[in-house]
Structures are given as C-alpha cells and as structure tokens.
Amino acid sequence: MRIYTLLALFVSAAALIVSGCEKKTTVGIQAAEGCDLDIENLDGMYVAMKASPEKGDYEDKDFRIFFYEEGGKKMLKSTGGRVYPQLPLTEKFQYEFKEMKELPSGEKEAYYWANLARGFNEEELEEHKKKNENLGWKLEGMLYIRVDDKQCRLKISDMYATYVKGERVEDFNMGGQSAYVKSEIQDYSMVSCPPAVKRDRPQDNRQGELIAWDMEEPNPNKDESYPRGPKGTLVPVGKPVNWMFIDAYMNEKEGVEEGCEYYLDVYFDDRPVEGKQKIAVTPGKKWTYWKFDMTHDAIEDPTFIEIHRHKVCGGKDEVIDAVCNIVQTEKPEGAAEGAAEG
C-alpha cells in the first residue's frame, strides 16, 4: 500500500495548488488593459496556449474548451487534448458547473465536474472500484478555472479522479495546468464521434465508419471502398471522392421519425467545410446514405474528417452524433519513397 500512500501525498500537494493555496505573483498587479474575461460569465471557444522551441508561443486547438448554457445551467465541453497525433479527437467531454469559490487571495475559482464512468451499472461500478489497479481508469473529471487578469487568460487545472483498490485517487489529466485564451475561431467541432466500444450495439459506434468510395451508391456487402488501414483511408488527389456513412439501421420502413427531416454538415481538420453544410439526406429503401463528395489536395499528415448528423423535427434541430475517420492522400507520382507516410 506504500505506493498509494505516496500517491495520496502527491495528490494532496496537487490539491493545495488547485485550491488556490500557492503563492500568488499577480496580486496587486494592474489588470491587462481591455481585458473583459469574467469568471462569472464565460462563453464561447477557448484554446490552450503552448510553447515550443520550433513554434514559440502558439495556440493548440487540440486542447480546447467551449463554454455554453443549457437548460439554464452553465456547461462546458472539453476535448482533453490529443493522445496520439495520428488519432482524431473523437470524444468531447461534457462538464457541469458546480460552484464558485473565493480563494484566500481574493480570486474567484469556478469548479466544473464531469461523469466519465462508462460501461458499468451501479453495482458493477462499485465492485470495479474495489478491484481496479489502473490509474488511467477515469471516473470523474474536474476543471478548476480562474482568470489571469494580468495576461487576460484563463488558468485551468485539468484533473480526474479514479479508485485504486477502493481508495480514491486524483491526478492531473494530460492538459495539466494550462493557460487558455479565447479563440478567434469559434466554429471548431465539439461533437463527439463515438468510439467502437459497444460491440452489442453497433448502431452506437461511429468512429471509423465514414468510408470513402469511388462510386455514389455502393453496396457495402459487395463493392470495394478505398483502402483503409491503421493510419486511415487512402484517397487520390484531385479526384472526387464519395465519403459516406451507410446507415443500416435507418431506411424507409424503420429508424425514421415521422415528420422529421435529416441533413449533415462536413468537418475537416476540426473545421466546417465551405459549401458542405446542410446537405439533405433522404432515407433509402434498404439503408440510408449519409454522403457527400470531396476533392482532396495533397495532405501532408493524416487528418481528421467527420460529419455531424442532424435531424429536424417540428422546427427543432438536433445533432444526432458525429461519424468520423482519418484521411490521407496517395503519394504523388515521382515523389520520394515514404513521402506519404504520416
């Protein structure tokens, strides 16, 4: 149990930092001129400020948080960052505002909480808490947010909680303690693309299901799509590609709500694609093609591509989910060997 004692000591120290007990260096320093950040009224998209020897200071869109209100409650969605550069940001985590604290320094700190438990009923969850030895098994997300008036930024501590052999342990997520600034780009995708983890309910799995074809209405049981592999789908440059999610659970007889209409929006590298928004979708006889065509320029690195599926019923527009994949382009003729590797 010694390792868990050491972990508890580390977590206690981290908690002191998060709760505002560290020494302050900004007390008494005049706030940045024109800074309008208000911890009580945060809204919109914020991205993390990072630094590297190659880039210097830069905004990292892989770490982004969107503040909004829903049903009169303050909420946010967080990407949590990208674990592996070649994989997409498929899941966005939803947090709910819990409380506003006033710290000894006089600063205010907003606390947001998320339920991250997946795949367990209540009894199974309690049992797994007692047996678990994996520190990476995340049950709760905690974001502690303050305003840095001096630099007009948000200071965010990104933490999670788990249970190791029945003992609650808290640690920092990949984002750690970071500065966030309001992004000039407010239309980054913040819709989750469900990973393929529900083997008993494949209709709920969407990651990797946006497939590229060289035909407009393929038969998925007979026809060949563009080649797919661990680095995504390989498509040609300069030739229209038919991207689609072939929905076997939606057709003219089932899966369609009466009086509702359906459409999709296309996103590439986390941004909406111009001219590829609100593409109407018509339920088919056997299955439904959620499809669009896209002509790709050469892509240097494997890139995330996704659609957001919408249904409109009685004038209410609802996002069903996202369907996604990774795309890379074929190596141009005459290019050096290995140039297309991501």
Q: Kindly report, residue by residue over 156-166, the tens digit of the pLDDT.
A: 999 999 999 99
Please determine, for residue 15, whether its predicted confidence score (pLDDT) is greater than 50: no
Residues 6 or more apart whose Cβ sits within 8 Å of residue 21: 104
User: Are 131 and 85 contained in the same domain?
Assistant: yes
The pLDDT score that the predictor gives to residue 215 is 96
User: Are 109 and 214 contained in the same domain?
Assistant: no
User: Are 161 and 60 contained in the same domain?
Assistant: yes
**CATH number for the domain harbouring residue 310:** 2.60.40
User: Are 138 and 236 contained in the same domain?
Assistant: no
Residue 98's CB: how many other CB atoms inside 10 A? 13
Please determine, for residue 2, whether its predicted confidence score (pLDDT) is greater than 50: no
Q: Smallest Cα–Cα separation from 167: which of 118, 115, 123, 131?
A: 131
User: Are 128 and 222 contained in the same domain?
Assistant: no
- Give the whole-angstrom CA distance, residue 143 versus residue 160: 8
Mean pLDDT, rounded, for 191-212? 76
User: Are 142 and 236 contained in the same domain?
Assistant: no
Residue 292's CB: how many other CB atoms inside 10 A? 20
Cα separation values, 92 from 28, 96, 173, Å = 37, 13, 14
Parallel, antiparallel, or unpaired for β 271-272 and 279-281?
A: unpaired
In a domain, 192, yes or no: no
In a domain, 163, yes or no: yes
In a domain, 189, yes or no: no
The pLDDT score that the predictor gives to residue 71 is 93
- Give the whole-angstrom CA distance, residue 299 versus residue 330: 9
Q: Kindly report, residue by residue over 230-277, the tens digit of the pLDDT.
A: 778 999 999 999 999 999 889 888 889 999 999 999 999 999 999 999
The pLDDT score that the predictor gives to residue 7 is 43
User: Are 70 and 117 contained in the same domain?
Assistant: yes
Q: Kindly report, residue by residue over 275-293, the tens digit of the pLDDT.
A: 999 999 999 999 999 999 9
Of 73 and 204, more confident: 73
- Give the whole-angstrom CA distance, residue 5 versus residue 244: 51
Chain centroid to Cα 326, Å, comes to 15
Q: Which of 153, 182, 211 is the last residue of a domain?
A: 182
Q: Kindly report, residue by residue over 108-155, the tens digit of the pLDDT.
A: 999 999 999 877 889 999 999 999 999 989 999 999 999 999 999 999
- Give the whole-angstrom CA distance, residue 341 versus residue 85: 13
Question: What are the strands, taking DSSP E only, across 227-315?
Answer: 228-229, 232-235, 240-247, 260-268, 271-272, 279-281, 288-295, 303-313
In a domain, 24, yes or no: no
In a domain, 336, yes or no: no
pTM: 0.83
Domain range holding 250? 202-329
Mean pLDDT, rounded, for 327-337? 72
- Give the whole-angstrom CA distance, residue 303 versus residue 334: 23
In a domain, 44, yes or no: yes
**Total structural domains in the chain?**
2
Q: Which of 147, 182, 217 is the last residue of a domain?
A: 182
The pLDDT score that the predictor gives to residue 38 is 96
What is the number of H-type helices and E-type strands within the chain? 2, 18
User: Are 135 and 229 contained in the same domain?
Assistant: no
User: Are 286 and 175 contained in the same domain?
Assistant: no
The pLDDT score that the predictor gives to residue 197 is 59
Average pLDDT over the chain reads 86
The pLDDT score that the predictor gives to residue 229 is 81
222 conformational bin, left if phi > 0, alpha if psi -120 to 50, beta if neither: alpha
In a domain, 157, yes or no: yes
- Give the whole-angstrom CA distance, residue 341 versus residue 231: 9
Residue with tokens 């494997």: 302
Confirm if 232 and 302 have CB atoms less than 8 A apart.
yes
Please determine, for residue 214, whether its predicted confidence score (pLDDT) is greater than 50: yes
Q: Which of 150, 182, 214 is the last residue of a domain?
A: 182
User: Are 87 and 173 contained in the same domain?
Assistant: yes
User: Are 157 and 211 contained in the same domain?
Assistant: no
- Give the whole-angstrom CA distance, residue 287 versus residue 95: 35
Lowest mean pLDDT segment, chosen from 53-57, 71-75, 329-333: 329-333
User: Are 12 and 67 contained in the same domain?
Assistant: yes
For residue 261, what are the β-bridge partners?
312
In a domain, 290, yes or no: yes
